[in-house]
Copies of this chain bind each other. A is one copy, B any other.
Amino acid sequence: MATTRSLAMTTEELSAYLDEVFPQVRGEFGVDALAPGTITMRLNVRDHHLRPGGTVSGPAMFSLADVAVYAMVLSMIGRVPLAVTTSSAVDFMRKPEAGRDLLAEGRLLKLGRLLAVGDVLIRSEGREEIVARASMTYAIPPQRE
């Protein structure tokens, strides 16, 4: 969707802004690809993301989905630090493969004045099987102009 609108931020601006607002996770997430209404977001898997057996934890996958949808929203409307997640639904389908980053393919399904909705599919890098599916709703502060 949203193909008739253009990006409000470049990949570089978006990455820099995410590092600025989420300093605790600086370097964990990367924007591999960005276009109006779609994104590929990477989780640079590190030890603290792992569960016994070497697979990425559920909360780490939740984070990846959350930041992917947030980044898609920001890329369209610009810097809105107060946008917050209001609802989320995640299905965990398979174990991620040990030793591989996770990639989230996101698409923006709605970009309204007050609510934005996106969903993502998460895979281990280089694999076809879907590891998790997530949908996220963001509330956008009304006073945004």
Contact = CB atoms under 8 A, between A and B. Distances in A.
Nearest to A88: B90
Interface in A67-96: 81, 84-95
**Consensus secondary structure, chain A interface:** mixed
A93 B115 CA distance: 9
A66 interface: yes
28 contacts: A1-B129, A21-B52, A22-B51, A23-B52, A24-B47, A24-B57, A52-B81, A58-B62, A58-B63, A85-B92, A86-B92, A86-B93, A86-B115, A87-B87, A87-B137, A88-B88, A88-B92, A91-B110, A93-B109, A93-B110, A109-B133, A110-B130, A114-B114, A114-B142, A119-B133, A133-B135, A135-B135, A137-B137
